[in-house]
Amino acid sequence: MDIALSRECNRLNLLQVARYLDREPELLLGYYHQLLDDSAFVAQLNRQMARARQQLHFTKGIFGKPDVDSVDWFAFQRILLYILVRTLRPARILETGVYYGGNTVFLLKGLHDNGEGTLVSIDLPGSKAASTTRHPGVGDTELYAAHVRAGFLIPEELEGPWQFIEGSSLDVVPTLEGQFDFYIHDSEHSFQFLQRELALASRKLTTDATLLVDDIDWSNAFYAFCAGERYVPLLLTDNGKDGLRVRSGLVRRNHPANYDPAFVGQASSPSASTTLSNKCSYRTTSPNSSTTKSASNPLDSPRSMYRNSSGPTRS
Ligand SMILES: C[S@@+](CC[C@H](N)C(=O)[O-])C[C@H]1O[C@@H](n2cnc3c(N)ncnc32)[C@H](O)[C@@H]1O
């Protein structure tokens, strides 16, 4: 990865995010620079990675790099999460899929620097995660030993506002009390699973919540969700080890163009519905109406190249 190119890609993405959120670009770029200048945070991450190498023999991805000198070695999505938390100042964040805690640590760093807010994260117990296929629909890339608890990149100093719940997101999310104003999905990415998780998580979100879905290129579930709900999403690239790809999908539930036929088409048109959803029951919602439909969908085609392979690499 070329770090200078990475930084430029990050900057260009942040300009788009600023426009999507209707915020001044300088605000988001300012948070980016704060993170870049935070050598204490990079030192904390290096200590955690050294510990994982020594104690857990975990050397995957960025853990194989003995000394990380900048947060830019992490994927753009991590940096974006920090900046979103600083900019939007969510009171309660819901996260699914923790693994080593790459997203979690940047969310917690944002909450720490805000001085407020909490994070609830859900992942399978280590033993279950080690013995089952994590992404049955699309291949299996993330395995760790049964004794390892998710989130081992997270320094103790940042753990304060964090609640970690072991279990499947599909079981745990319906049991959660109260509402969340920020949600990130990074658990099981198969079409059906993501579709179910998005439906369950949506019921727990405030009307002005922000959603971020990782690895949207693994299936069409994210796009089908946006089409069904009539949300205008922002699709963001990430420059991982294998080159640039569209990775993160961002949705503002209160984006002014949501539901606007000029952006998302007409609601409840039978022909539009059948084009948009196959084998999927989805809700078409507008400020004035809410109906449930079942229809057919050419978007329902998880990328077959990932079905029997290890999927795209990432850090
Ligand atoms: C892509 S990894 C997450 C990476 C992580 N967000 C990070 O930044 O390091 C996917 C994670 O989803 C978890 N997962 C898979 N199925 C799940 C389920 N049903 N409920 C909750 N988590 C699940 C896996 O155990 C795995 O840790």
- Residue located nearest, by CA, to atom 22 of ligand 1: 123
Whether residue 42 lies inside any domain: the answer is no
CA distance 46 to 285: 46
Whether residue 177 lies inside any domain: the answer is yes
Tally of CB atoms within 10 A around 122: 24
Give the residue numbers spanning the domain of 268. 75-307
Whether residue 133 lies inside any domain: the answer is yes
Question: 100 CA to middle of ligand 1, Å?
Answer: 9
CA distance 181 to 13: 22
Whether residue 176 lies inside any domain: the answer is yes
Whether residue 160 lies inside any domain: the answer is yes
| CATH number for the domain harbouring residue 185 | 3.40.50.150
Whether residue 14 lies inside any domain: the answer is no
Question: 186 CA to middle of ligand 1, Å?
Answer: 6
Contact 71, 79 (CB under 8 A): yes
CB of 166 shorter than 6 A to ligand 1: no
Whether residue 56 lies inside any domain: the answer is no
Probe residue for ligand 1, chosen from 134, 148, 219 as the CB with the greatest number of ligand atoms within 8 Å: 134
The tens place of each residue's pLDDT in the chain, 315 residues long, gives: 688 888 999 999 999 999 999 999 999 999 999 999 999 999 999 999 999 999 888 888 899 998 999 999 999 999 999 999 999 999 999 999 999 999 999 999 999 999 999 999 999 886 555 555 555 554 545 566 667 778 999 999 999 999 999 999 999 999 999 999 999 999 999 999 999 999 999 999 999 999 999 999 999 999 999 999 999 999 999 987 678 899 999 999 999 999 988 888 877 544 443 334 333 333 333 333 433 333 333 333 333 333 333 333 346
CB of 252 shorter than 6 A to ligand 1: no
Cβ neighbours of residue 141 closer than 8 Å, sequence gap 6 or more: 134, 135, 310, 311, 313
Cβ neighbours of residue 76 closer than 8 Å, sequence gap 6 or more: 6, 9, 10, 13, 236, 237, 238, 239, 247, 248
Whether residue 125 lies inside any domain: the answer is yes
Number of domains into which the chain is organized: 1
